[in-house]
């Protein structure tokens, strides 16, 4: 995609431009973004950051429109997806970020805090792989006064600065595994993400195959088939 997508602040004084779209994996888009002050025509490019989607779905302005928050793709290599909320203070030309060890989160920016909500969509039963019975947790609040703010001039070092950032845990309430009504894995021709779910569920064969993959690499790409690492293997009759 070479086109640009633009979004204006409610008071039409600023414009966010989303560009440089990529698809790190199927059904997922990421993009670069910049901010234009429409009164001075000053442009801030937020490189090296990548926004999830086309930006708008995870984008939120504060009531006074001096701050905005946006979902970032984290880490940038795209192997594992976590939520990272980037917050920019236009008046003070500084930024902060909040990191999570999960995704499917929604951020709502306010004048003095950001509220993080677990997405209403909680995974339902799936016949392809085991699923858990989950329910939505209460929202989290992060006051801006308690965050570390960094001058925008340091943005090029964002990835390095984030390496030691606190990673927050925010997960749905787990009520245990649903009874699985589908078939257990017969071959390694299945997504590693799904194989991992079978391993968690307690399937011995899946646990063995997943352990073999972990022994081969410490950077697993969960969005390829297990055969990518193990070759084509059939389920052992003993399992």
* Domain spans of the chain, in order of start: 5-174, 183-230
Mean pLDDT (whole number) for 203-225? 95
Q: How many CB atoms lie within 10 A of CB 85?
A: 24
> Residue 16's pLDDT is what?
93
Give the residues across from 32 on adjacent strands: 19
> Residue 64's pLDDT is what?
96
> Residue 53's pLDDT is what?
76
196 or 126, higher pLDDT: 196
Q: How far apart are CA 94 and CA 23, in angstroms?
A: 29
Mean pLDDT (whole number) for 39-59? 85
Q: How many CB atoms lie within 10 A of CB 95?
A: 22
Structure tokens at 165: 């950032």
78 falls in which pLDDT band (50, 70, 90)? very low
- Lowest-pLDDT range of 46-50, 117-121, 187-191: 117-121
Q: What is the mean pLDDT of the chain?
A: 89
Residue 15 predicted with pLDDT over 90: yes
Name the helix (H) or strand (E) containing 210: helix 204-216
Q: What is the pLDDT of residues 147-167, one digit of tens each?
A: 999 999 999 999 888 888 888
Assign 212 to helix, strand or coil. Answer: helix
The pTM of this model reads 0.77
Residue 67 predicted with pLDDT over 60: yes
Residue 223 predicted with pLDDT over 70: yes
Angle between helices 192-201 and 204-216 (to 10 degrees): 130
């Amino acid at each position: 995609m070479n086109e640009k997508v633009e979004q204006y602040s409610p008071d039409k004084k600023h414009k966010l431009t989303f560009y440089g779209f990529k698809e790190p994996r199927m059904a997922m888009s990421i993009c670069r973004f910049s901010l234009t002050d429409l009164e001075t025509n000053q442009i801030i490019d937020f490189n090296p950051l990548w926004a999830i989607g086309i930006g708008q779905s995870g984008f939120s302005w504060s009531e006074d429109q001096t701050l905005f928050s946006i979902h970032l793709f984290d880490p940038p290599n795209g192997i594992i997806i976590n939520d990272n909320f980037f917050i920019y203070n236009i008046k003070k030309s500084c930024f902060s970020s909040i990191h999570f060890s999960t995704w499917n989160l929604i951020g709502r920016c306010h004048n003095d805090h950001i509220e993080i909500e677990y997405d209403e969509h909680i995974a339902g039963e799936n016949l392809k792989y085991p699923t858990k019975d989950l329910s939505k947790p209460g929202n989290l609040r992060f006051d801006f006064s308690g965050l570390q703010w960094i001058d925008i001039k340091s943005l090029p070092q964002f990835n390095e600065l984030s390496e030691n950032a606190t990673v927050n845990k925010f997960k749905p309430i787990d009520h245990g595994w649903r009874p699985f009504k589908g078939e257990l894995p017969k071959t390694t021709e299945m997504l590693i993400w799904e194989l991992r779910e079978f391993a968690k569920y307690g399937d011995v064969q899946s646990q063995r195959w997943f352990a073999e993959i972990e022994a081969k690499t410490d950077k697993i790409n969960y969005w390829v088939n297990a055969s990518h690492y193990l070759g084509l293997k059939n389920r052992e009759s003993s399992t």
